[in-house]
């Protein structure tokens, strides 16, 4: 049965490029150019349709008499009621649809009701280390080692240019600003951007640490700002919806349940930290944890923070409803058998694989059955 393909992810992660590559591949396979219809729905690129009816009429006119067409619709969340037009084009006219968006609200209950069981979501993240290396080599940029990936991150626009770090971070800050203006401020009518920015600062300073909305409120109070917990959680939720941050819930390994408090948050790309706050060597431990978190998601894992009594496991990564599992600890330097990372993993009494990912390149490959993997090798493993 045909499915609507929904390509979803943070802005500037390469979704539009994927559509362009798809259009080229369809032409290569012999699909007539007139049956490949591309529309980009952004403030500057929109063909002038801003509601479901005009969107549907525009696409219906372009497909009339051409049989089954391939509709490549970019950033559809900019069109009010787009899901109604998409549903009609798919269900009534039988066209093949590929949709991109920069909001998790694309799969909100209303849209899911329209096409329940007839869509597949394809998450898109900024470049992995392997992709970063390939992009840099193709662009003739010589710096594509793990240090360069840590310094520049995975946004394609940065990876294909030979920028100095200051210029790169200015571009990344521009990406963040466009997200705030297009996907958050305008949509949610944020009036106090200073307060919103302070919440973002707190999250950046606590990347990879557990915190609650109440702790953010205490932080703001210390700065002479009063704010309710509900508003703070609204800000965090809007950042999640725009894929700026990802929430990583805690999982109680003993009780085998997801806990409702003290989550961690990770960035869509660690370079956002540098774009907003500059590059600081003291952030490296949190940055490599962020990199490992995203890599696990790219590989199709559901990722949790593990809790075992009073011990914390950085990541519990599950596939196939827990039938496949990987325990991961992340540290900057090579651990010893007595270090927390190894000790915490050793306390888990099941047979699933356990690894420590470290920035160090050399040292023991195994401690008490626990693999010690340099970050670069971990990221390049299939």
Regions of the chain with pLDDT less than 70: 1, 43-50, 107-117, 363-364, 382
DSSP secondary structure, 98-126, as one string: EEEES-GGGGSHHHHHHTTTSEEEEE--S
Domain containing 382: what range? Answer: 280-382
pLDDT of residue 48: 57
CA angle 87-89-91, nearest 5°? Answer: 60
Alpha-carbon span 232 to 212, nearest angstrom: 10
Q: Examine residue 243 and state whether it is found in any structural domain, yes or no.
A: no
pLDDT of residue 109: 52
- Nearest C-alpha neighbor of 239 from the set 104, 74, 76, 100: 104
Q: Examine residue 346 and state whether it is found in any structural domain, yes or no.
A: yes
pLDDT of residue 189: 87
pLDDT of residue 359: 92
pLDDT of residue 19: 94
Q: Examine residue 203 and state whether it is found in any structural domain, yes or no.
A: no
The three-state secondary structure class of 141 is coil
CATH number of the domain that 332 lies in? 3.40.1350.10
CATH number of the domain that 13 lies in? 3.40.50.300
CA angle 323-329-331, nearest 5°? Answer: 160
pLDDT of residue 133: 97
Alpha-carbon span 266 to 304, nearest angstrom: 12
pLDDT of residue 176: 95
Q: Examine residue 191 and state whether it is found in any structural domain, yes or no.
A: no
Q: Examine residue 98 and state whether it is found in any structural domain, yes or no.
A: yes
pLDDT of residue 262: 84
Distances (CA, A) of 11 to 19, 72, 74: 14, 17, 11
pLDDT of residue 110: 55
pLDDT tens column, 10-19: 999 999 999 9
pLDDT of residue 123: 94
Distances (CA, A) of 211 to 178, 182, 216, 223, 292: 27, 27, 8, 18, 20
* Domain C-terminal end among 90, 123, 156: 123
pLDDT of residue 259: 87
DSSP secondary structure, 319-367, as one string: ETTTTEEEEEEEESS---TTSHHHHHHHT--S-S-EEEEES--SS-SEE
pLDDT of residue 225: 76
Alpha-carbon span 327 to 253, nearest angstrom: 11
pLDDT of residue 47: 55
Q: Examine residue 84 and state whether it is found in any structural domain, yes or no.
A: yes
Alpha-carbon span 360 to 344, nearest angstrom: 20
Dihedral sign, Cα of residue 252, residue 258, residue 259, residue 261: positive
> Total domain count for the chain?
2
pLDDT of residue 120: 87
Antiparallel, parallel or unpaired: β 4-8 and 96-101: parallel
Residue 314 phi/psi, 5-degree rounding, is: -55, -50
Q: Examine residue 205 and state whether it is found in any structural domain, yes or no.
A: no
Bridge partner list, 258: 251
* Domain C-terminal end among 79, 94, 123: 123
Rg over CA atoms, the chain: 22
* Domain C-terminal end among 78, 105, 123: 123
Q: Examine residue 156 and state whether it is found in any structural domain, yes or no.
A: no
H/E run at residue 214: helix 213-222
């Amino acid at each position: 049965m045909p499915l609507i393909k929904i390509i979803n992810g943070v802005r500037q992660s390469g979704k539009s490029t994927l559509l362009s590559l798809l259009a080229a591949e369809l032409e290569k396979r012999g699909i007539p150019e007139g049956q490949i219809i591309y529309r980009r729905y952004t403030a500057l690129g929109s063909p002038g349709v801003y509601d479901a009816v005009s969107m549907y009429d525009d696409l219906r006119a372009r497909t009339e008499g051409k049989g089954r067409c391939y509709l490549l619709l970019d950033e559809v969340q900019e069109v009010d009621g787009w899901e109604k037009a998409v549903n009609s084009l798919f269900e009534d006219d039988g066209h093949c649809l590929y949709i991109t968006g920069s909001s998790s609200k694309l799969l909100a209950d209303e849209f899911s009701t329209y096409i329940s069981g007839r869509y597949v979501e394809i998450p898109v993240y900024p470049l992995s280390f392997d992709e970063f290396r390939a992009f840099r080599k193709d662009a003739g940029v010589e710096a594509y080692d793990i240090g360069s990936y840590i310094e520049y991150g995975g946004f394609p626009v940065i990876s294909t240019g030979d920028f100095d770090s200051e210029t790169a971070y200015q571009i990344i800050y521009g990406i963040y600003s466009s997200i705030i203006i297009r996907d958050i401020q305008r949509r949610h009518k944020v009036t106090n951007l200073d307060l919103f920015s302070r919440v973002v600062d707190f999250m950046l300073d606590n990347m990879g640490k557990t915190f609650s909305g109440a702790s953010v409120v205490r932080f703001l109070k210390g700065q002479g700002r009063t704010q309710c917990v509900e508003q703070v959680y609204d800000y965090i939720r809007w950042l999640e919806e725009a894929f700026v941050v990802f929430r990583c819930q805690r999982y109680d390994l003993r009780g085998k349940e997801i806990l409702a408090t003290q989550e961690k948050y990770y960035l869509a790309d660690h370079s956002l930290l540098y774009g907003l706050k500059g590059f600081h060597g003291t952030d490296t431990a949190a940055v490599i944890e962020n990199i490992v978190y995203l890599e696990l998601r790219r590989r199709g894992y559901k990722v949790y923070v593990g809790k075992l009594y009073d011990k914390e496991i950085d990541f519990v990564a599950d596939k196939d409803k827990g039938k496949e599992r990987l325990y991961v600890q992340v540290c900057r330097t090579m651990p010893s058998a007595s270090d927390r990372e190894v000790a915490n993993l050793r306390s888990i009494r099941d047979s699933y694989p356990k690894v420590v990912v470290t920035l160090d390149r050399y040292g023991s490959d195994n401690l008490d059955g626990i693999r010690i993997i340099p970050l670069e090798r971990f990221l390049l493993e299939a």
